[in-house]
Structure 1
Amino acid sequence: MDVSKQAGVGVATVSRALAAEPHRDVSPATRERIRRIADDLGYRPSLAARALRTGEYRALSVIVPDFEWGWWEPVVRSAYNAAEEHGYHLLVHPVGERRGGAAGTISALSNVPTDGVIVLGFSASREVQNAAAALRLPVVSVDDTEANPILPTVSVDNRAGGRMATEHLLSQGRQRLAYVGNTWAGNFVDQRIQGFRDAHDSAGIEVNDRLILRCENPWDDPPFTFKELDELLADGVRIDGMFCEYDRMAGPALRSLRRAGLTVPGDVAVVGYDDEEWAKLTDPPLTTIRQPYEELGALAVSLAIQAQTRPVAAERRTVVPTLRKRQSA
C-alpha cells in the first residue's frame, strides 16, 4: 500500500490510523501523520477491504415503491438521518420496472455493499423474506399490508388513528359520518375502518354501512370526483362528516361535496389520514391524522442494525399517530 510505504509503517497501523474512532495502539502524532499522507495521495478506504476485515459494510439498503405516493419520502429522510447517527450509509433502491418487484430488487443486491434491507410498503413478504435470506441479509418491513407479519415490521397504529379521526368529527357534533375508502384491501385499511367503528361504538352511535364507500382511485390518474360519493349524495343521503382513508382521496371527495352544493366544513367536516404534502394544498386545507414518519424511519434502521447481530422477532411494532388540525374539520 502506498500510504504504508510512504509513512514507513505496516498496513495494519494504517488501517487503525484511518479508522473513524481513535485506536489506542496508534499515537495521535502517528495518526495525524498517516492521515496527512493519505490525503496527499488521494487515498480512499475500500469498502470491500473493510468488509473483509470487519464482516460489515456499515451500509443499509432501502427498497422504495415505484408509484407516486409521498408518504415514504419523509420515512426515507428520517431513516437516512438515523443511519448516519449510527455510522451507517443509507442506499435507496426504487423498484421501478424491475422484474419481481421488491423481491427482485433485493436479489439484485448481490453485488451491492450492504448489511441489511428495509422495504417500504410491500405486501409480498414471503418473496421478500426468501430473497433476503438467499443473500443472508436481515430484512425489516415498514408499513406492509400483511395482517400477520412474517418479517420484523414497523407501522403506525392505524386503528388508533382511525378512531382518533372519527372521534374528532364526533366531538364537533357530527353524527352522520361517511367513510371514503379504496376498493383494495390490506391490513392498514382494515385497521383504519375498525377504528372508525370503534369510535361509533364508544359514542353509542350505530354505523350506517351505506355510508362506508369503496371508491375506485387509480394511483396515477385520480378521478375528478368519486362517482360512488356523487351517487350517494344525488340520492339525497345526508352526511355531516367524512373520514377519508388517506389524504390522496380527499381531493376528489371534496370536489364531490362541492358538486353537490355542500360546503366544508360548514355542511360536512372532513378528516384525512397520513398528513402528506398535498393535505396542505386542498381547499380548504385538510385536517388529517399525521403518521409519525420520523419514528418509523428511525425504528426501522434500529431494527435492521440489531438484526445483524441477534434475531429480531417477526412482529409488528406500532407507533402512535397524531391529529393535525387545519380548516376542513
Structure 2
Amino acid sequence: MKKASIKDVALKAEVSTALVSYVMNNKHINRISKETAERVRQAAKELNYRPNKIAQSLKSNKTNTIALLVADISNPFASQIARIIEDETSKRGYAVLIGSSDENPEKLQQLIEVFLNRQVDGFIIIPVINSENSIKELIKTKIPVVLIDRYFNDVQVPVITTNNYGISYQSIEYLIKTGKKNIGILVYDVELAHLKERIKGYRRALEDRGLPFRDENIKFINEKNIQAEVEKAMDELLKSNNNSIDAIFFTTNKLAIAGLKNIVKRDIKIPQEIAILTFDESEAFEVFNPPLTYIKQPLQEISKESVEILMQIIENKNLNHKPRVFNSKLMIRQST
C-alpha cells in the first residue's frame, strides 16, 4: 500500500499543503479555524499520514527537540518543572529530552555532549555547582541556552529565577513579628548564588529588626550526606538550653524533610516549642501535622517563561540577558 503524502492529506481535506504542514506541526494554529484544523487532522488519521521528521529536520536545520537538564529529578521542584516544560513545548510541536545530572558537574557535562550529538535545538538547564565552565563551553557552540533557578553571575545567558532574597527577608520578618527572636537556618554548603541570596535575606531581616546574627545559628550541610549532616546540625541547634532556638528556616525541601524526621524523633512540639519555615513544597509535607508554613515558588510562570525565552532565541529574536525574576509567596500555615 502506497504511503500517504502531505499532498494526499491536502486533497482529502480540501486545503493547501502549507496549511496541512501548519496544522501537523502546530504552527500558526491561532490563524486557522478549529473546524479546518480538525478536518486536516481527521484526513491525516484516515490516511494514516505521519510527517517525515527526518526530512523536515534536514530542510529546516531543526530537530524540534530541546534538552532539559535538571540538577536532581527526584527533587519535587525539578520534577514539576519538567512536567510543565514538557507540556508547554508539546504545544509548540517540540519534544523534550530530559536528563538529571544528580548534582554532579561531570555528569552534567556528559549529558550536554550526549544531547549536542542528538542535535537538539536548545537547552534549558538547572545547573549544578562547579558547572560554569561547561555552560560557557556550551554557549560557544552558539546553541540557545536558558538557565532556571540557579545561575552564575559571570555566565551571560538568559536566567529565569525567583526573588530569593526578598521572599527570605519577608519570611524571616514574619517569624520575628510572631515573637521569634532566635532563628536557626540550614543551607547547603555550596557556592550557588540563589542560596546565598536566601542567607542574605535571612541575615538582613534579623539586622533590620535589631536582632543579632549568630554564626552558630547558621548550619551548612554537605549535600552528599544530608541525613547525617542534618542530625549533627539539629544536635548543635537544639541541645543547648542557653541557645533557646525558637524557629528554624530550612532553605530547601530536602533539608526540611531531613530536619522534620529529627524533630519527630526528639518529640518536639511544633509550633509550641519551635516554629518551622521551609522553602518549597513536597508531597511528604502533606502527611505532616501540623501543616507547614512554606515558600511557594511560581513553577508555572518559571517554566512557561523558560520555554518562551528559548523559543524566541531559536527563532533568532534578539534578547537581553537581564534575569527574569518572579515573585514567590509565603504560605502561612500552622507550623509557625
Same topology, TM > 0.5: yes
Write the mapping of 1:1-329 to structure 2, written as runs, cut at 5 A: 2-3=4-5, 14-20=17-23, 38-66=44-72, 68-85=74-91, 87-95=92-100, 100-112=106-118, 114-123=120-129, 124-131=131-138, 133-134=140-141, 136-218=142-224, 222-223=227-228, 226-236=231-241, 237-258=243-264, 262-308=268-314, 309-329=316-336
Letter of the 2:123 partner, please give it.
V
Specify whether residues 148 and 328 from structure 1 end up closer, same or farther in structure 2 by C-alpha distance, changes over 3 A only: farther
CA RMSD across the alignment: 3.5
Q: Once the 2 structures are TM-superposed, how far is the Cα of residue 241 of structure 1 from its aligned partner?
A: 1.4
Q: TM-score normalised to the size of structure 1? A: 0.82
**Which residue in the other structure is 1:26 paired with?**
none
Q: Once the 2 structures are TM-superposed, how far is the Cα of residue 22 of structure 1 from its aligned partner?
A: 8.3
Instruction: Give the whole-Å Cα distance in 1 for the aligned partners of 2:52 and 2:189.
Output: 50
Specify whether residues 46 and 110 from structure 1 end up closer, same or farther in structure 2 by C-alpha distance, changes over 3 A only: farther
Residues 209-262 of structure 1, C-alpha deviations (whole Å, 9 max, x = no match):
22112234536x634952122134223221111111112212333344455564
**Which residue in the other structure is 2:33 paired with?**
none
Instruction: Give the whole-Å Cα distance in 2 for the aligned partners of 1:31 and 1:291.
Output: 37
Letter of the 2:94 partner, please give it.
H
Instruction: Find the residue that maps to 2:5 and give its secondary structure.
Output: helix
Specify whether residues 282 and 181 from structure 1 end up closer, same or farther in structure 2 by C-alpha distance, changes over 3 A only: farther
Residues 254-286 of structure 1, C-alpha deviations (whole Å, 9 max, x = no match):
344455564210011110001232233334332
Instruction: Give the whole-Å Cα distance in 2 for the aligned partners of 1:190 and 1:225.
Output: 19
Specify whether residues 8 and 271 from structure 1 end up closer, same or farther in structure 2 by C-alpha distance, changes over 3 A only: closer
Instruction: Give the whole-Å Cα distance in 2 for the aligned partners of 1:247 and 1:38.
Output: 47
Residues 145-202 of structure 1, C-alpha deviations (whole Å, 9 max, x = no match):
4244432111111111211221121121111111122333311221001000121122
Specify whether residues 261 and 115 from structure 1 end up closer, same or farther in structure 2 by C-alpha distance, changes over 3 A only: closer
Residues 48-71 of structure 1, C-alpha deviations (whole Å, 9 max, x = no match):
322344444443221223462221
* Structure 1 alignment gaps of length 5 or more: 24-29
Is residue 230–residue 255 contact of structure 2 (8 Å, CA) maintained in 1?
no
Is residue 120–residue 141 contact of structure 1 (8 Å, CA) maintained in 2?
yes
Is residue 183–residue 215 contact of structure 1 (8 Å, CA) maintained in 2?
yes
Instruction: Give the whole-Å Cα distance in 1 for the aligned partners of 2:164 and 2:39.
Output: 56
Moved more, 305-314 or 124-133: 124-133
Q: Once the 2 structures are TM-superposed, how far is the Cα of residue 143 of structure 1 from its aligned partner?
A: 1.7
Instruction: Give the whole-Å Cα distance in 2 for the aligned partners of 1:266 and 1:256.
Output: 16
* Structure 2 alignment gaps of length 5 or more: 30-35
Specify whether residues 15 and 44 from structure 1 end up closer, same or farther in structure 2 by C-alpha distance, changes over 3 A only: farther
Q: TM-score normalised to the size of structure 2? A: 0.81
Instruction: Give the whole-Å Cα distance in 1 for the aligned partners of 2:239 and 2:175.
Output: 23
Specify whether residues 4 and 191 from structure 1 end up closer, same or farther in structure 2 by C-alpha distance, changes over 3 A only: closer
Is residue 101–residue 108 contact of structure 2 (8 Å, CA) maintained in 1?
no
